[in-house]
A and B are shown apart, each in its own frame.
Chain A
Amino acid sequence: MAMTMTGEVMLSATRDVVWAKLNDAEVLKACIPGCEELNKNSDTEFQAVAVTKIGPVKARFKGKVQLTDLDPPNGYRISGEGDGGVAGFAKGGATVTLAEQEGGTLLTYNVEAQIGGKLAQLGQRLVNGAAKKIADEFFKNFAATMQPASA
């Protein structure tokens, strides 16, 4: 089961600030929906634990988050692969590009996601919606980190 989607979000910060945040483990941890742990293996590789809750399904994924194709400050590719034990697996990635615009930075993302195992068997009709929801939530959280801390 695979799916793809694209989206964009306007951020009220300079491209350098956005780029820095995209590479900050603490920021990523706060933005990945359900992320419980995100530990740095290196500057571009992290170990992650995330809980995915979609309707009655609740699965805890352990896996890796990797940053590749780094092209500061224009963009990179963030990908993740998680093992949900008996639930199955999920993997996916997003190509993120940053463009300077008046008043901020336009972030464009191209996501593709794949699930397998029981998750796919049971969740087949929901994959698209679920992946979109998770991606939307991630970028919404990310946009929120651009606001001043008091907001």
Chain B
Amino acid sequence: MYDFTFHRPTTVRQAAGLLARNPEAKLLAGGHSLLPVMKQRLAQPSALIDLSLIDGLDTIEQKGRAVVIGAMARHADVAKSPVVIAAMPGLASVPGSVGDPQVRNRGTIGGSIANNDPNADYPAAVLGLGATIITNKRRIAADDFFQGMYTTALEDGEIIVKVSFPVAKKAAYEKFKHPASGFALVGVFVSKRGSDIRVAVTGAGSNGVFRVKSFEEALKKRFAAKSLEGMSIPATGMNADIHASAEYRAHLVGVLARRAVAKATA
């Protein structure tokens, strides 16, 4: 490895201070996206700011009608959390489906969301439940947070502290998993909370996670898989690579949305 400074702050305020003083620094959460890239020399930050010694960043709790998850909560911990499972098993299944055991035991919700990989699972749940991202500076609604692949509303020096998910009565996630990487070739999160119905898709769009308004409208009439019968989305704007064409991905969005609704209403 090449030289870089390694900081281990114990408070968010210290971490923010370090970030402000080192514009080339990167925050280190689980490190499962950043470290492979550093090993390949595709990124050479001057400093890493490790968030793992900060107390209270990995809490998982129910607060009124919301499940609030700390930014440093690992995927495996969220997947197994009795609080999350009791409130919304559909949400717990999202980190449970991420990658492999190594990634699930190191990767964090804050890291996943801040990175906003177009194939990541968590962004679908955050957008699909209309969660609120709470940073050291402000609260950001999911609809404003994701701004295209690898781009978020986070400003320089801003650190995600927790994510607040409103508890939806019905919620489920279905993904078509890439067999090698575990990434979502396509993943669809659906939820129904009162009259608020959301369908969020990850993996499919070439510009990251997005909502499918036509599906949401159809589900407003009746929240059942049948309401989406025969529906699909246009292939324009879908990602295409050696694994799947844009048309195939568009087709999967319809299939997985029906499965997710069926699961949520089962």
Interfacial residues, chain A to chain B (CB-CB below 8 A): 54-59, 85-87, 118-119, 122, 124-130, 132-133
Contacts and interface: CB of A to CB of B under 8 A. Distances in A.
B196 to A, nearest CB: 29
A128 B205 CA distance: 11
B62 interface: no
A149 B212 CA distance: 38
A85 B43 CA distance: 12
B contact patch SS? loop
Given A55-B115, A55-B150, A56-B37, A129 B239 contact: yes
B240 interface: yes
Contact of B241 (A55, A128, A132): A128
A28 B118 CA distance: 29
Chain A interface helix/strand/loop/mixed = helix
B119 interface: yes
Nearest to B205: A129
Interface residues of B, number: 27
Nearest to A130: B149
Nearest to B118: A129
Determine which residue in A55, A59, A87, A119 has the highest number of CB atoms from chain B within 10 A of its CB, and name it: A55
Interface of B: 26, 33-34, 36-37, 40-44, 115-119, 148-150, 183, 206-208, 239-243
A86 B150 contact: no
Given A125-B119, A125-B241, A129-B207, A118 B40 contact: yes
A140 to B, nearest CB: 12
A128 B240 contact: yes
B206 A58 contact: no
Nearest to B37: A56
The 3 A-B residue pairs with the shortest CB-CB distance in the complex, in nearest-first order: A55-B150, A129-B206, A56-B37
